[in-house]
Structure 1
Amino acid sequence: MTSLPPCIHIVDDDPDIRDGLAWLFDSRGWRSCGWASGPAFIEGIAAQAPDWGAAVVLLDVRMQPWSGPVTFEHFKPLGCPWPVLFLTGHGDVSTAVQAVKNGAWDFLEKPFQDNLLVDRVEQALQAAASQTQAQRHTQRLRQALASLSPREREVLGELLRGHYNKNIAEHLGITQRTVEFHRANIFEKMGVESAIELAHQLGQLQSLDGDAH
């Protein structure tokens, strides 16, 4: 089954702008989807959760009945990973800057060149793909850790302290051969080939958990 190419969601209450941007992205071989208002956009995409796929949202600042920032506030609770790029007139730059501080990916001031917009959208897609890949890797590490037996966790703790198999066997009151068996299981489950790589992976995980608190 082949996955669909990324979709560019164009949220703007001006039909001419929606049509123009749709033509631009269609001409580059990308899918696009136009939305005439914030409520229509939020209602339309909510049904996709949690299978979001790859997409970028182009969100106009000045719209009715919801402005771009108000639409963005309704978008965030959905947990959708799509980068949001605000399109703003000169007088709304400060609003767009605030939206970026609140989690939007970036903003682009009108009038803009088509190539610049396309480049910015490509950058947003690449950033989102990298983030998704990192999140998958982190999730896999967490699942691997959870799959370790109590004894494997003990051996893991000893490995991370830099102890050799012989010392680990003495500390835990087991044979060196048993330590080697558990060590091989730990490496296989965690997807690593050395104790150094294992320490590096778990260090990254610990850092992420620390950032979350």
Structure 2
Amino acid sequence: MDRLQATVFVVDDDVSVREGLDSLFRSVGYAVSAFASVREFALLRRPDMPSCLVLDVRMPGPSGIDFQAELAGLNDPIPIIFLTGHGDVPMAVRAIKAGAVEFLLKPFREQDLLDAVRVAIEKDEVRRRDEAALAELKARFVTLTAREKEVLAFVAQGRLNKQIAADLGLSEVTVKVHRGQVMRKMGAATLAELIRLADLISGKGQAVR
């Protein structure tokens, strides 16, 4: 990971905390943007690069927990690390179950926070790679003809060439030609890989790593 290409966003109403975190993250090479409230952060047009959010739990206005739920409702996947000055186990459990990377109690060890940020940035990088791979796969799918898409759908169901030929009223040789074209266009080297790619497009498969 190139830390110069990753940004840590900090939201905390305590200016001394914001300044301290800004200094800490910059000292290890991250870009940092700090805000006094979730509303200030929400107005930001974030750069398209790996990032994470270090978020205070209790602040004037919406709490960090409330903002986590708001981001989830907007399908905003930015990884979140919570900081709090109050030990609240139920709140921590709620935050972690909702997808938070970490829930740290102030005062925290700087290394614990840096480790959490590293994990969060890596998580965001993986998500971005997966989304890019899926977008490329969908772009390949668009290049298939209507007949090739039909053949792919049958292949994904585990149908044999002769069965597909009977279903579509084609010769088995013609089905083999279509399947070969589908594999070439989709970038699949084997039948098993083609089936996996078809599942990815349909949302049934696991993201490409």
When normalised by structure 2's length, the TM-score is 0.81
Query: Where do 1:197-212 residues align within 5 Å?
Result: 197-206=193-202, 208=204
**Residue matched to 2:115:** 119
- Structure 1 CA distance, aligned partners of 2:204 and 2:129? 15
CA drift of 1:117 comes to: 0.9
Residues 55-64 or 149-158, more deviating: 149-158
- Structure 1 CA distance, aligned partners of 2:42 and 2:185? 40
Amino acid of the structure 2 residue aligned with 1:105 = V
Relative distance call for 1:147 and 1:19 in structure 2 (3 A) is: same
**Residue matched to 2:88:** 92
**Residue matched to 2:181:** 185
**Residue matched to 1:33:** 33
The alignment partner of 1:9 has SS state of strand
- Structure 2 CA distance, aligned partners of 1:79 and 1:92? 26
The alignment partner of 1:82 has SS state of coil
Instruction: Report the aligned-residue RMSD.
Output: 2.8
Which has more helix, going by share of residues? 1
8 Å CA contact 1:39, 1:71 repeated in 2: no
8 Å CA contact 1:52, 1:80 repeated in 2: no
CA drift of 1:59 comes to: 0.4
- Structure 1 CA distance, aligned partners of 2:138 and 2:9? 33
8 Å CA contact 1:12, 1:36 repeated in 2: yes
Amino acid of the structure 1 residue aligned with 2:160 = H
Structure 1 segments, 4+ long, off by >6 Å, are none
Relative distance call for 1:115 and 1:149 in structure 2 (3 A) is: same
Relative distance call for 1:181 and 1:3 in structure 2 (3 A) is: farther
Unpaired runs of 5+ residues, structure 1, are none
- Structure 2 CA distance, aligned partners of 1:159 and 1:72? 41
**Residue matched to 2:160:** 163
Relative distance call for 1:83 and 1:137 in structure 2 (3 A) is: same
8 Å CA contact 1:42, 1:75 repeated in 2: no
CA drift of 1:31 comes to: 0.7
